[in-house]
Amino acid sequence: MNSKNKSASGKYGNLQTLLQGAGLRPTKQRLALAGLLFDGCDKHVTAEQVHASLTRMKAKVSLATVYNSLNHFRGAGLLRQVVVDGGQAFFDTNIGSHHHVFDEDTGLLTDIPAASIRVSHLPKLPQGKKLARVDIVLRVQSNA
Amino acid sequence: MNSKNKSASGKYGNLQTLLQGAGLRPTKQRLALAGLLFDGCDKHVTAEQVHASLTRMKAKVSLATVYNSLNHFRGAGLLRQVVVDGGQAFFDTNIGSHHHVFDEDTGLLTDIPAASIRVSHLPKLPQGKKLARVDIVLRVQSNA
DNA sequence: GTGTTTGCAAAGTGTTTGCAATTTA
DNA sequence: TAAATTGCAAACACTTTGCAAACAC
């Protein structure tokens, strides 16, 4: 049943579980969004990109809802936000420990495993502060 | 002469030289801005902050000019832009090799010398790309 | 004088918010 | 039915831009 949704059967159930497990009501819009994002491949998306994709695949979700949902997903720990330059924010479906390569020519963002970079000699932090995260961005550009 | 400008004599001359050396015309506004920024101490400022400072010290420089000038300074290599989260852009007067600590509670940005962090095992980059920069941000928060 | 820079206000971009209608549990 | 979510449009924060007047060389 429910043959119109491409992420039917198992997939659908998993997404529903995923959202519920995160304390989010599995609405049509969120399921569509989750179906797009959590397909097993790591992704870096912007709100506009996701909105465009949803629109292209005939899932009517307003841009505001895309923003709200992405933020909810982030709050629930399903996504991570990455900022590489002013402009737009990226949402990263890879929530494990890792870093990024930002291509300044194309604006594309790529993951690199945390293990690829070894950081040593972290400085001591101010009193009463703890390290929340280490963000490393390798900025690359064409060497033409 | 020119006793009304607080960064008179030597300082003023240096700033003028600095700007000219960077290929920028030493206008009143740019000199005021440069006087604020290049006093020998490393700073992280936003356009709004600089504009507020200039206004407070009675140097009338429009916000648009602050933005334009900061961008010119950056283009000339006098400043570096740092992005830590969406909101506003920081301009860093420290253009040497270093990294940052971002306090998520206060929104304050601090420098740490590049030597404080040792990065090893950088992954290999895509064909035809070269490493432009490594940006490292230590995100800290209160451990209360 | 000629080309650059300024300042203002308007436009632009990316994101958030207020609120009525809808949907979920 | 009560609470959460949606969608729209308006509001928002930050930044850039168009253009006439002012300025630097």
SS (H, E, C) chain B: CCCCCCCCHHHHHHHHHHHHHCCCCCCHHHHHHHHHHCCCCCCEECHHHHHHHHHHCCCCCCHHHHHHHHHHHHHCCCCEEECCCCCCCEEECCCCCEEEEEECCCCCEEEEEHHHCEEECCCCCCCCEEEEEEEEEEEEEECC
| Strand nucleotide closest to residue A67 (CA to C1') | C15
Identify the CATH number of the domain defined by range A10-90. Answer: 1.10.10.10
Contact B125 A140 (CB under 8 A): yes
Half-sphere exposure for A103 (CA within 13 Å, toward CB):
15
Q: Is A61 helix (H, G, I), strand (E, B) or coil?
A: coil
Best B84, B138, B142 member to test A by mutation, with max A CBs in 10 Å, is B138
At residue B2, the pLDDT reads 36
**pLDDT band at A85; cut points 50, 70, 90:** confident
Alpha carbons B61 and B46: distance in angstroms, whole number? 15
Domain with CATH 1.10.10.10 in chain B: 10-90
Greater pLDDT, A135 or B13: A135
Q: Is the CB of A22 under 7 A from strand C?
A: no
Measured CA to CA in angstroms, residue A13 lies from A4, A35, B71 at distances of: 15, 11, 50
* pLDDT (0 to 100) of residue A12: 53
Classify the C-alpha dihedral A104-B123-B138-B115 as positive or negative. Answer: negative
Closest residue by C-alpha to C1' distance, nucleotide D15: B67
Give A12-52 pLDDT, tens digit per residue: 558 899 999 999 999 999 999 999 999 989 999 999 999 99
Name the pTM for this structure: 0.86
Q: Is the pLDDT of residue A107 over 50?
A: yes
- In this structure, of A26-35, A78-87, B53-62, B64-73, the range with the lowest mean pLDDT score is A78-87
The pLDDT, as a whole number, for residue B32 is 96
The reply to whether A61 Cβ lies less than 7 angstroms from strand D is yes
